[in-house]
Amino acid sequence: MTTLGAIGATPRLGSTIKKSFGKTPDGQPVDLYVLTNISGAEVSITNYGGAVVSLKVPDRSGKLADVVLGYETADGYVNDKSYFGALVGRYGNRIAHAQFVLDGKTYTLAKNNGENSLHGGIKGFNKAVWAAKVLSTKDGQSLELSYLSKDGEEGFPGNLKVKVIYTLTDANALQIEYSAATDKKTVVNLTNHSYFNLAGQSSGNILGHQLMIQADKFTPVDASLIPTGELRDVAGTPFDFRKSTAIGARIDQEDEQLKLGGGYDHNFVLRRAAGVGESLAARVVEPTTGRVLEVWTTEPGVQFYTGNFLDGKTAGKGGMTYPRRAAFCLETQHYPDSPNQPKFPSVVLNPGERYHTITTYKFSVEK
């Protein structure tokens, strides 16, 4: 049973509390919701950009640590350029030349990544204040965020009603359920952009983390990180994570794709059985703490990113700075630039249809 504690209260097991988190530049109040399960795992989520601010899970000795990068106040997220923990939309990842065509009409978006549009544009969903509601659930703590993205916002067509439900289960999993509906044909691709370091959010680089990705193919990119349209076999390349491999094992190899991304910043084509719900996309083990992260999703792809653009200049939680490769992202998604790639799975949403995807981050330990 979910209970909403008083603002400023101390979290207790099996509860959700609400705290003040600051204000937007135009004076809107921003809140932080702290969800704690019955064993003490905890996630903090702000209604500014739906960001996962902190996520505390146990290591093999039961010690909790915050395993995601982020900021201590709303100001950090207002000024953020790295999408720490963000709820990304209307379109996660890149759209080439910041435009696409639907039914013969060209829609022009903001160019905020060279010539391309990235993560929804200049004011994507990560810069919106979402309406928040604490839900009553049987198996954990849930927070519902909702937002109306108006027709023409950042160049996208259609009034898009979006609802995202975060659930911290009593089994130490964070489930994110996305749904949306539109009144005009549009494109949608929502994701979460959490940066993980399973040793703790200020524990050096993630090159020793062991990663497995359930993918036989990936989508190679051009110089502006737009997919070429090819689905390339991972076999014989540094992108073969079908068996658990250290993230850093091949990251500095002489490889054209790694050079273009400055490391890994690529979409992987997930192996998925038809007609199933969530399936395993990736598994990560941090050997020193024993923490394990499994990513389960209904999505066809996952963007694996190794924090190549982090520069150690931005102050995060606890006054810590986050240097290059201090964290990794596993952004479940449809493929980048799908609106311009007819061979990729469709991201088109029609009126009367429901966009619905689920991704679950399951935490455990290896002894």
**Residues taking part in catalysis:** 193, 331
Burial of 352 (0-12, 13-18, 19+ CB in 10 A): exposed
- SS3 state at 261: helix
User: What is the chain's Cα-based Rg?
Assistant: 19
Phi, psi of 14 (to 5 degrees): 65, 40
**Amino acid letter for position 111:** K
d(CA 102, CA 258): 33
Closest among 62, 57, 61 to 44, alpha carbons compared:
57
Alpha helices (runs of H) in the chain, residue ranges in sequence order: 74-79, 256-261
Buried b / exposed e over 99-133, threshold 16 CB at 10 Å, is: bbeeeeeebebebbbeebbbbbbeebbbbbbbebe
> Quick one: 86 exposed, middle or buried, by C-beta within 10 A (0-12, 13-18, 19+)?
buried
Q: Three-class SS of residue 139? A: coil
Answer yes or no: are the C-beta atoms of 299 and 60 closer than 8 Å: no
